[in-house]
């Protein structure tokens, strides 16, 4: 559940009354998820929607995974699984406002590329807090939490820190940073290594470069990042992403007899990519890389990595997602996917995976509904940045979500009164029922949000003695109302957003007689990463605001 301390015990006395939502429903119906699933199969992605930069560790017979969350709170979701396919979120490494301060950060800043490690009864999550601090780690004895306050890592002036524990307990810190003397070109990065002292929670001793510059198969490397070291059969394997996190993304591996190197590259690098496939292929999966390897209890090896399901060749609204593939070892080298092969949407699962078990609501086609019957928001919900004041109430009127509207808009660098969940499908329907604002000066409805300059707001407002349903859109220039209709709600008003790749439609039901379209087939490629930029995916959910003065909508 989200942090209970952020939920209103009693609504503060303010001019605007809270907006009440009865339920929120989300249904995905992707053609890519419609393929029949054999009893021993699973669907990719295993975490659909905005779940980038995965890192995984095994402790006993269980696996634990973390993802980037950037400027969303609670941050760094923690998932648990017994089979690498069926995941359940059990907590967040950043779940207290006191841990990190997100105010003023862009949506694609904040917590980047976490790494999760375990040693001697302690879980470690390392992270880079971009534009808000430096590199840090948090620890916990239970991955569900509580997690410690951040311990900052002095002298680590790069990104993507990770920990490797050798068989004798020696700890090594790795990260991606500029080479000595600075970068020679954009994306020129080195992988650094240093001893790490678990007693003081600080790096110690001299740091050394273990990877920099061209290697066999990579003549002009850019963005060596996301480094990990693994030990197998007396070899140390250094694996990292290369090529940037877009369509040139890949994963490479090198090995050495010493953790310090020298590391020699796999002659068949990269061990994972989709950049060598035809651009015009149907239903492409792109951006594959940032892999994390793990050995299962039965001795098999697996890779968790990010990729994106695209439309129009390179566009995707669902962000970078988490995929799973087996690792095959040949002549002492790991391979995730042979060159020229596409990432399968359906694959054979681990031998220890339960058969014919649904992956919903984290993968596949499903319907998810929140009737707001709990006293705190469920784990599917997120805030945009850390709330500094309470505006959510699920207690005063059981079965209803009450949102106290704030003046912060979706373009703000602060915390708007917007409760967000991920868009997990290229084709989906999301709907809600709410009581329209009783007084003028409040707008309420559903926000569909990619970034502070790329979003939709399907809302309702009081205009005189009537109500107006409106659709506001920001495509990177200036927010504009692109459709509106006068309505006379009979009790609850229903609103719906339907997406189909790069086209979205918006509807309402004011009288219980069925949906009426407000706007159909609108160009929603503004929500794609190649248009909006950044590293996040689309989120959507209930949103209420104190209305801007007339003429400023």
CATH, domain 30-348, list 2.115.10.20, 1.20.120.1760, 3.30.70.100, 2.70.98.10: 2.115.10.20
What average pLDDT does this structure show over 153-161? Answer: 95
What average pLDDT does this structure show over 242-266? Answer: 97
Report domain extents, the chain.
4-24+365-546, 30-348
pLDDT of residue 2: 52
Q: How confident is the model at residue 15 (pLDDT cuts 50, 70, 90)?
A: low
> Above 50 in pLDDT, residue 553?
no
Q: Which two tokens stand for residue 262?
A: 């020298």
21-32: pLDDT as tens digits? 999 999 999 999
Beta bridge pairs of residue 544: 444
Using a 10 angstrom Cβ sphere, with 0-12 exposed, 13-18 middle and 19 or more buried, the burial of residue 262 is exposed
> Above 90 in pLDDT, residue 84?
yes
Q: Which of 95, 115, 225, 472 is an active site residue?
A: 225
Q: How confident is the model at residue 549 (pLDDT cuts 50, 70, 90)?
A: low
| Known active-site residue 225 | yes
490-525: pLDDT as tens digits? 889 999 999 999 999 999 999 999 999 999 999 999
Q: Which of 30, 53, 160, 474 is an active site residue?
A: 53
Q: Count of CB atoms within 10 A of residue 372's CB?
A: 20
Q: Which two tokens stand for residue 90?
A: 């059990």
Integer angstrom CA distances of residue 528 from 27, 53, 277, 289: 20, 18, 21, 19
384-398: pLDDT as tens digits? 999 989 999 999 999
Whole-prediction pTM value? 0.95
> Above 70 in pLDDT, residue 291?
yes
Q: How confident is the model at residue 65 (pLDDT cuts 50, 70, 90)?
A: very high
Q: Count of CB atoms within 10 A of residue 321's CB?
A: 28
What CATH architecture applies to the domain 4-24+365-546? Sandwich (2.60)
Closest CA to 509 of 469, 478, 450: 469
> Above 50 in pLDDT, residue 10?
no
pLDDT of residue 3: 46
Measured CA to CA, the distance from residue 492 to residue 19 in angstroms comes to: 11
What average pLDDT does this structure show over 465-476? Answer: 95
307-338: pLDDT as tens digits? 999 999 999 999 999 999 999 999 999 999 99
341-355: pLDDT as tens digits? 999 999 999 999 999
| Known active-site residue 120 | no
pLDDT of residue 548: 73
What average pLDDT does this structure show over 45-59? Answer: 98
The 10 Å CB-count burial string (b at 16+, else e) for 106-124 is bbbbbbbbbbbbbbeeebb
Q: Which helix (H) or strand (E) holds 530?
A: helix 529-532
Please give the radius of gyration of the chain, using alpha carbons only, rounded to the nearest integer: 24
What average pLDDT does this structure show over 160-184? Answer: 97
- Residues of the chain with pLDDT > 70, as a percent, come to 96
What average pLDDT does this structure show over 441-460? Answer: 97
Q: Mean pLDDT across the chain, nearest whole number?
A: 94
> Above 80 in pLDDT, residue 131?
yes
């Amino acid at each position: 559940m989200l942090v209970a301390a952020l939920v209103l015990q009693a609504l503060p006395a303010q001019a605007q009354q809270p907006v009440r939502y009865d339920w929120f429903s989300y249904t995905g119906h992707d053609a890519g998820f419609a393929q029949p699933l054999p009893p021993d199969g699973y669907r990719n992605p295993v975490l659909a929607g905005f779940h980038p930069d995965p890192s995984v560790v095994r402790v006993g017979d269980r696996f634990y995974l973390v993802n980037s969350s950037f400027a969303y709170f609670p941050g760094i979701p923690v998932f648990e699984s017994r089979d690498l396919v069926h995941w359940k979120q059990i907590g967040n490494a950043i779940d207290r406002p006191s841990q990190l301060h997100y105010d003023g950060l862009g949506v694609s800043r904040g917590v980047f590329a976490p790494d999760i490690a375990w040693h001697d009864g302690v879980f470690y999550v390392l992270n880079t807090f971009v534009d808000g601090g430096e590199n840090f780690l948090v620890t916990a004895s239970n991955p569900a939490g509580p997690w410690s306050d951040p311990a900052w890592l002095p002298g680590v002036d790069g990104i993507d820190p990770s920990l490797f524990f050798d068989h004798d307990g020696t700890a090594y810190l790795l990260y991606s940073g500029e080479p000595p003397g600075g970068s020679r070109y954009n994306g020129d990065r080195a992988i650094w290594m240093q001893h790490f002292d678990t007693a003081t929670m600080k790096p110690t001793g001299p740091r050394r470069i273990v990877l920099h510059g061209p290697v066999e198969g990579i003549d002009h490397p850019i963005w060596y990042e996301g480094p990990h070291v693994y030990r197998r059969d007396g070899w140390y394997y250094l694996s990292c992403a290369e090529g940037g996190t877009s369509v040139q993304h890949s994963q490479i591996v090198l090995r050495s007899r010493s953790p310090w190197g020298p590391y020699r590259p796999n002659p068949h690098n990269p061990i994972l990519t989709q950049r060598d496939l035809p651009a015009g292929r149907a239903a492409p999966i792109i951006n594959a890389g940032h892999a994390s390897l793990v050995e299962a209890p039965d001795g098999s090896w697996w890779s968790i990595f990010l990729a994106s399901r695209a439309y129009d060749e390179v566009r995707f609204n669902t962000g970078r997602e988490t995929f799973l593939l087996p690792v095959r070892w040949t002549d002492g080298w790991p391979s995730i996917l042979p060159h020229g092969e596409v990432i399968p949407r359906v694959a054979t699962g681990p031998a220890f995976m339960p058969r014919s078990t649904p992956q919903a609501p984290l993968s596949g086609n499903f319907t998810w509904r929140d009737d707001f019957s709990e006293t705190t928001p469920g784990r599917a919900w997120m805030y945009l940045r850390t709330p500094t004041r309470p505006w959510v109430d699920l207690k005063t009127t059981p079965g209803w979500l009450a949102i106290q509207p704030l003046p912060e808009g979706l373009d703000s660098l602060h915390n708007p009164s917007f409760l967000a969940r991920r868009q997990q499908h290229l084709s989906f329907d999301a709907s809600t029922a709410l009581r329209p604002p009783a007084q003028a000066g409040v707008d309420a409805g559903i926000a569909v949000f990619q970034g502070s300059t790329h979003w939709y707001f399907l809302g309702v407002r009081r205009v005189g003695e009537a109500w107006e349903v409106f659709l506001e859109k920001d495509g990177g220039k200036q927010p504009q109302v692109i459709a509106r209709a006068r309505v006379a709600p009979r009790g609850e008003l229903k609103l719906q957003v339907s997406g189909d790749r790069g086209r979205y439609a918006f509807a309402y039901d004011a009288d219980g007689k069925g949906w009426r379209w407000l706007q159909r087939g609108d160009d929603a490629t503004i929500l794609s990463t190649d248009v909006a930029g950044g590293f996040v995916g689309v989120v959507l959910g209930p949103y209420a605001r104190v209305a801007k003065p007339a003429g400023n909508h």
